[in-house]
Amino acid sequence: MKETTPKIAEARYAGDYRIWLRFVDGVEGEIDLESLLWGPMFLPLKDKVLFAQFQLYPEHSTIFWPNDADLAPEFLYDRVQRKHRSQSAAE
């Protein structure tokens, strides 16, 4: 059975509210998450010092922050792919 959940191989802070991600299938790119920072779990991440403290959570193949906020790996994968497609279309 083919695995459907994308797995993050590497994640790096890229400044402000941006994170660079590389998935195990080779898909990689930088995404800006600022527009998602609202609501009780994500609003505290407007503090850039806290935002930059995310870590890779290998058991769930995603990233998480010290306040237990996290994002689904499928969501992150889709955001990276959409950004890549829009950049390719602009070229």
- The single-letter code of the amino acid at 88 is S
Is the CB of residue 8 less than 8 Å from the CB of residue 63? yes
Q: How confident is the model at residue 5 (pLDDT cuts 50, 70, 90)?
A: confident
In this prediction, residues 82-89 reach a mean pLDDT of: 66
Q: How confident is the model at residue 9 (pLDDT cuts 50, 70, 90)?
A: very high
Is the CB of residue 67 less than 8 Å from the CB of residue 44? yes
Reported as a single tens digit per residue, the pLDDT across 18-59 is 999 999 999 999 999 999 999 999 999 999 999 999 999 878
Domains and CATH numbers, the chain: 8-90 (3.30.2020.10)
